[in-house]
Chains A and B, each alone.
Chain A
Amino acid sequence: MGRLRSAPPRYWLVAVAVLFFIGLPTVISSFLASEWTLALVFAIAIMGLNILVGYSGQLSLGHGAFVALGAYTSAILAHRYHMDYLVTIPIAGLLTGIVGFAFGFPALRLSALYLALATFSLAVVAPSLIKRPKDLTGGVQGILISQPDPPDFARNGFATITGNAMTSEQWIYYVTLVCALILFWLAWNLVRNRPGRAMRAIRDGEVAAAASGVNIAGYKTLAFGISAFYAGVAGSLYGLAIGFVSPDAFPVSLSIQLLVGAVIGGLASIPGPLLGAIFAYFLPIESNQWVPSQTWIPDQITSTVKNAGPAVSYGVVLILVMIFARNGLVGLVMSGYGVLRRRLRGAGDRETGQMPPDPQTA
């Protein structure tokens, strides 16, 4: 019991968050559950981007292209080769990861600015590259994905708890949640151990890191590969959640949306991608719902706000965050928390800098 009490508040927050997400579909509509599924998909993709940008310091603006690759891999395997969709998820992830890893090699030779430029161009070109091999990708039409019915054990479990029948959407939500939990846990481990430390060392100063014996090339390409793996899984789940994939679902603005989410949530943090994903995904939806609900705004304005609002707000937020709060929401929370803690605990022992012992553990 003593250990539980002295566990850092962080672990409590994680437990609460996990319980929240597990319980969510039981209290919201099936449609809302599918919305949250997409938010979790974003979170996975952003986590991958975060590993690349936040932890290893390589700015790739083409993450959307990797998401597309994962989505199409799953779609093609399921649709043309009739594989069980759930089986395609790790395959899509692995394939995208390998491609990402391969990308990491030429990326080593590019300076940060040129890497940004090249990956941005890739993101712009990606939709037209997808459209070309029509037979494989279905061209502009894309590929339809049939959403699986929940298996019996899930259906029974859900019915026992809520008394309702489980929909496909809710099942897909739980599949996504399990993937997200696994991947976040993996990321947490990666960051805490040697790979994470190596990447951070590289990000903060390659020369010094090389001098300390860190294998720069190895870790940088590894970061690319892992980041692409996450994007691939996210893409695969995305296709499952939406029910189809098409080239126009992956424009360059998706890559920017993911970057916004990563930056706002807080680069180089584990909870950041989740917070950023929720923000990046729900902001346009909320603003789209709020504006039409204001009946005094005429229809033409409503329709253009629907199209333009998100872009304007993303742009403004991105600029403001980079100017004022580079560590994003997590950074703000951490500094706010730090201030709060100091106030509550008193100034501590000025001479030794120690905090007074926590009365609960004494």
Chain B
Amino acid sequence: MQEFSQQVVGGIATGGIFASLALALVLIYNAMGLVNFAQGEMAMLATFVAYSLISRGISYWIAFPLTLVLAFVGGLAIQRIVIRPVERAPILTLVIITLGLATLLNGLAGFIFGYVPRSFPSPFSAQSLGLAGVFVSYRDLGVIAISSVVLLAVYVLLQRTTLGLTLRAAAHHPEASRLLGVHVSWMLALGWGLASAVGAVSGIIVAPTLLLEPNMMQSIIIYAFAAAVLGGIESPLGAVIGGLLVGVTINLAGAYLPFVGGDLQLAVGLAIIVAVLLIKPNGLFGRAAVRRV
């Protein structure tokens, strides 16, 4: 029972990581109906930036928000430079472009930082804490805390501020928003910036566990896809819940299903994607069709 609870808590921690990246995917999907295949690589590059800052002596707690700001700017720049010229292109063209972007960013990271895996510091100690008979590492608690704060902040931004309102309006109703004086084009750019910053969080909090190298996010993005699809690709709440469910599921599958083991957890992620898409494509919280006005 204790082992089970520990796996669940560990799963919640990894779920927080998946939820952050999945939320980034959902933000961009809501803005343009596009799944950004480069989201993971963008997060990876941001994590490298954080690494550079920290190795120059900047404290973790300053480097973290600074990286988020830089990631925001980066995401905005990518939207303006790469995506905006082809805004009206068919979806598959945009998908291929995001694939090109992913390839490019991966190569760029390799070019600038090399392929040697580096260890990334965590501000939380690796020790464990006994809570109600369950041993939870400080690291896992830290991951849960940080992802909760970030997800909550995004929620507050989107639902309770005017800026968030205009972002949502521009995403779902671009034509009507224009007639209300909303700069829809800039809202899209901001959306990309926001998504990039949120995705960066997942990279930074997973790096201590995985070791930082250019291919670090390749499996995380699959889990994030699973989380987003499971929660419903348009639903931010779905991304969070989906993330938690995927995290717990792969942990339990890895621990209790002998044929899965550690190396086939990724296949469980794939299985979740395929199962959801075939059985209930809208996921848990999605709606049938997004109508745009």
Contacts and interface: CB of A to CB of B under 8 A. Distances in A.
Nearest to B33: A113
Nearest to B261: A132
A298 to B, nearest CB: 13
Given A311-B103, A318-B103, A322-B100, A106 B278 contact: yes
B219 interface: yes
Interface residues of B, number: 47
List the 9 closest A-B pairs by CB distance, nearest first.
A315-B104, A311-B107, A318-B100, A312-B107, A308-B110, A315-B103, A308-B111, A319-B100, A308-B107
Interface in B95-126: 95-97, 99-111, 114-115
Nearest to B115: A307
Interface string B254-293: 0000000001101101100110011001000000000000
Given A124-B270, A131-B263, A300-B114, 16 more contacts: A59-B92, A106-B274, A110-B278, A110-B281, A116-B92, A118-B277, A256-B103, A307-B110, A308-B108, A315-B107, A318-B96, A318-B97, A319-B101, A319-B104, A322-B89, A323-B86
Interface string B205-234: 000000000000011011001100100000
B274 A310 contact: no
Given A128-B263, A128-B266, A309-B107, A117 B93 contact: no
24 contacts: A110-B278, A110-B281, A114-B229, A116-B37, A117-B273, A118-B270, A121-B273, A124-B221, A124-B266, A259-B99, A260-B103, A300-B114, A309-B107, A311-B107, A311-B110, A314-B104, A315-B101, A316-B100, A317-B100, A318-B97, A318-B104, A319-B82, A322-B86, A323-B86
Contact of A263 (B96, B106, B225, B264): B96
B216 to A, nearest CB: 13
Interface string A271-288: 000000000000000000
B91 interface: yes
Nearest to A262: B96
Interface in A221-257: 252-253, 256
A113 B89 CA distance: 14
A315 B100 contact: yes
B30 to A, nearest CB: 13
B130 interface: no
B266 A312 contact: no
B222 A259 contact: no
Contact of B111 (A124, A128, A312): A312
B57 interface: no
Contact of A128 (B225, B264, B273): B264
A263 B281 CA distance: 29
Most interface-central of B105, B109, B219, B222 (chain A CB within 10 A): B222
Contacts of A106: 274, 278
B85 interface: yes
Nearest to A111: B281
Interface of B: 33-35, 37, 82, 85-86, 89, 91-93, 95-97, 99-111, 114-115, 218-219, 221-222, 225-226, 229, 263-264, 266-267, 269-270, 273-274, 277-278, 281
Nearest to B82: A319
Contact of A323 (B97, B102, B106, B277): B97
A304 B111 contact: yes
Interface string A293-329: 0000000100011011111111111110011001000
Nearest to B271: A125
Contacts of B115: 304, 307
B257 to A, nearest CB: 13
B104 A312 contact: yes
Contacts of B221: 124
B91 A113 contact: yes
Nearest to A319: B100
Interface string A109-142: 1111110111011101100110110000000000
A252 B263 contact: no
A60 to B, nearest CB: 11
A61 interface: yes
A360 to B, nearest CB: 42
A313 B278 CA distance: 36
Contacts of A116: 35, 37, 92, 95
